[in-house]
Amino acid sequence: MGIGIDILMFAIACVFFLAGYPVALTLAGVALLFAAIGVAFGFFDFTFVSLLPQRIFGTMTNPVLIAVPLFVFMGVMLERSKLAEDLLTTMGRLFGTLRGGLGLSVTIVGALLAASTGIVGATVVTMGLLSLPTMLKRGYDTSLACGSIAAAGTLGQIIPPSIVLVLLGDVISNAYQSAQLEQGVFAPETISVGDLFAGALLPGLMLVGLYMAYQIFTAVTRPHSSPAIPAAELGEIKNLYRDIRDALLPPLLLIVAVLGSILGGIATPTEAAAIGAVGALLLAGHRLYGKDGGHADCKSTVFQVLRVTDLAGKWPIVLATLSLIGILGLTTFVDLRLNRESMTPIEQNAIYLAFLLSALMVWGVLVSIKRTLGAGVLRDVMKSTAEISSMVFVILIGAALFSLVFRGLGGDETVHNFLSNMPGGVVGAMVVVMAVMFVLGFFLDFIEITFVVVPIVAPVLLMMGVDPVWLGVMMAINLQTSFLTPPFGFALFYLRGVAPDDVRTAQIYKGAIPFVVIQIVALGLIAAFPVIATWLPDLLY
């Protein structure tokens, strides 16, 4: 009776997903239902369910997953403090005089926001509210404008630091160790989120280039679809340079600090996420200087302390930013550990300097907290961060129970036998897995696919000799298409929610299709030339 029950369990879970039931409750509920049926008929060992507390404890104490709320905070802070809005306006002015320039600026801003936020929904909504009305007003083809915005928003899935890459990195790391243990390797190699970040960087930039190439091709072959903006309407050049300095340089510095610290081996992804969260808070505090008068009457002791810290204008933020860079530099070249038997005079002085820089950074953070609190930004950011992080971890717990029951019903053996016996060996198995994930992306969110499907298929593929970094990048780009594929692509829903009423849903779908094709082409290029994903990790690590 156990034959096929695992597949039935997966199919019923998909039915409940399509019916609109909450994902976490569906995963856990279906798992418990089939576990009860299995125990009643004697083909399931309830010991598998008893392992759930250990899984939950392991998840909650996993240092890698701490990066999730930190990266979420970083992205939401940049979006709510209007830094993304400033970036869009500036890039539009910079490229607007070119035919197709607004489309190019949307793609570039999407890439920059992806590298500094990694949150698809916030990016699509922000660009949809700000860029879509402007593009339509300037005579852009509606489908092209919608497709450009939706596709640029999904770059947060593949360009690090990405929530998807953090989650995928943890899942594939566990799968890689399990695969090696199954093969009798009792000193298994490890794969880290940093490896996946490095592997995804070049494919992400390649995808940006393909998007821009398509928009340039469209501008050349269909000039009426993407007209240029007259230069006289974009303001003076000196103001443009000032805007570039104020709007473009801060996010670039943040990107360099976060990605550079990871790729350079200075910080782990979790530590880099903390750097990003502090950096985003400082940038928000700098931008909101003088805009927090709404809480001037607050008499709380905490607020009065924060007010005292804000006596030097923008200097606290500047000094805190320089201190953050200084601490990164010290960490790179000097051993700052305290619990050591001996240290050189240089190391002692470096530690004293690090304490001083930390104090200056705390001052800047306090000032930023005061300003974001006064502007009403921090409360919204904290609420959104808690909601998104809670959703991710609740789904993760539900998926853990689902995978335990699925394994107890023999599902891992079913998948292993199915993929191992595919015609074409490894190539055939990869094609099937990519096709299944692509189809599931029509209906399921990337989080469900990451937590439910990937742990089932990844160990099998890794035992067949697939490179784990290459596999992670392929899956990440495949999951990215789930945001764009009609009829249930989430990026399309986000854009539909903020688009003007005269923009039809069919036009949004039509605009997304060429970019889905581009993503499939990118997937094919990485499949044909794995070095695109593996070269940088091999070089760095």
pLDDT at 359: 93
- Token output for 302: 């905490």
Instruction: Tell me the whole-structure pTM to 2 decimals.
Output: 0.81
Task: Output the pLDDT for position 261.
Answer: 84
DSSP annotation string for 461-522: HHHTT--HHHHHHHHHHHHHHTTTSTTT-HHHHHHHHHS-TTS-HHHHHHHHHHHHHHHHHH
C-alpha distances (whole Å) from 200 to each of 119, 256, 387, 394, 474 are 16, 16, 27, 27, 9
Q: Is the dihedral of CA 455, 461, 464, 468 positive or negative?
A: negative
The Cα 140–Cα 225 span in angstroms is 5
Helix axes 425-440, 454-463, angle to 10 degrees: 170
pLDDT of residue 312: 55
Q: How many CA atoms lie within 13 A of 131 on its CB side?
A: 39
For 365, residues 6+ apart whose C-beta sits below 8 A from its C-beta are 278, 281, 282, 320
Q: What is the pLDDT of residues 403-420, one digit of tens each?
A: 888 888 888 778 878 887
Q: What is the mean pLDDT of residues 363-388?
A: 88
Give the residue from 283, 356, 359, 347 showing the smallest Cα distance to 321. 283
Give the closest residue to 82 by CA, choosing from 469, 476, 380.
Answer: 380
AA letter at 10: F
**Cis-peptide into 487, omega within 30 deg:** yes
In tens, the pLDDT along 258-278 reads 888 888 888 888 888 898 899
**C-beta of residue 289 within 8 angstroms of C-beta of residue 371:** yes
> What radius of gyration, in Å, describes the C-alpha atoms of the chain?
25
Mean pLDDT value of segment 163-179: 86
User: Which has the minimum average pLDDT: 59-63, 234-238, 281-285, 365-369?
Assistant: 234-238
- Among the ranges given (65-74, 121-130, 140-149, 217-226), the one the predictor scored with the smallest mean pLDDT: 121-130
Is 294 a residue whose pLDDT tops 50? no
Assess whether pLDDT exceeds 50 at residue 1: no
Q: Is the pLDDT of residue 189 over 70?
A: yes
Question: Is pLDDT of 468 > 70?
Answer: yes
For the chain, percent of residues with pLDDT exceeding 70: 91
Residue 425 has pLDDT above 90, yes or no: no
- Helices 67-80 and 101-116 cross at an angle (nearest 10°) of 140
Q: What is the pLDDT of residue 2?
A: 43
Q: How far apart (Å, rounded) are the C-alpha atoms in residues 69 and 166?
A: 11
Taking residue 352's Cβ as centre, other Cβ atoms within 10 Å add up to: 10
Q: Which amino acid is at 274?
A: A
Q: At residue 540, does pLDDT exceed 50?
A: yes
Tallying the residues shown for the chain, one arrives at: 541
Which runs of E-coded beta strand occur in 253-323?
none
The C-alpha atoms of residue 258 and residue 277 are separated, in whole angstroms, by 10
pLDDT digits (tens, 9 = 90+) for 122-154: 678 777 887 888 888 888 899 999 999 989 888
CA distance 465 to 179: 10
CA dihedral 499, 502, 504, 507 (to 10 degrees): -80
Position 81 scores a pLDDT of 77
3-state helix, strand, coil in the chain (%, to 5): 80, 0, 20
Q: Name the helix (H) or strand (E) containing 500.
A: none
Is residue 211 pLDDT above 90, yes or no?
A: yes
- Select, from the ranges 207-216, 377-386, 490-499, the one with the highest average predicted confidence (pLDDT): 207-216
Q: Which two tokens stand for residue 385?
A: 């961060």
Q: Which residue has the higher pLDDT, 163 or 121?
A: 163
- Count of CA atoms in the C-beta half-sphere (13 A) of 309: 23
In degrees and rounded to multiples of 5, residue 421 shows phi and psi of -95, 10
- Please report which confidence band the pLDDT of residue 237 belongs to, taking 50, 70 and 90 as the band edges: low
Provide DSSP, 396-465: HHHHHHHHHHHHHTTHHHHHHHHHHTSTTHHHHHHHHHHHHHHHHTTTS-HHHIIIIIHHHHHHHHHHTT
Three-state SS for 146-167 is: HHHHHHHHHHHHCCCCCHHHHH
Q: What is the mean pLDDT of residues 93-112?
A: 82
Residue whose token pair is 């808070």: 281
Contact (Cβ atoms closer than 8 angstroms) between residue 99 and residue 144: no
296: pLDDT strictly greater than 50: no
> So what's the pLDDT on residue 437?
86
Q: What is the pLDDT of residue 117?
A: 64
Domain boundaries, the chain: 65-250+405-541
Of 320, 318, 295, the residue nearest 371 (C-alpha) = 295
Q: Among 209-223, 290-304, 505-519, name the one with the lowest average pLDDT.
A: 290-304
CB 506 within 8 A of CB 513: no
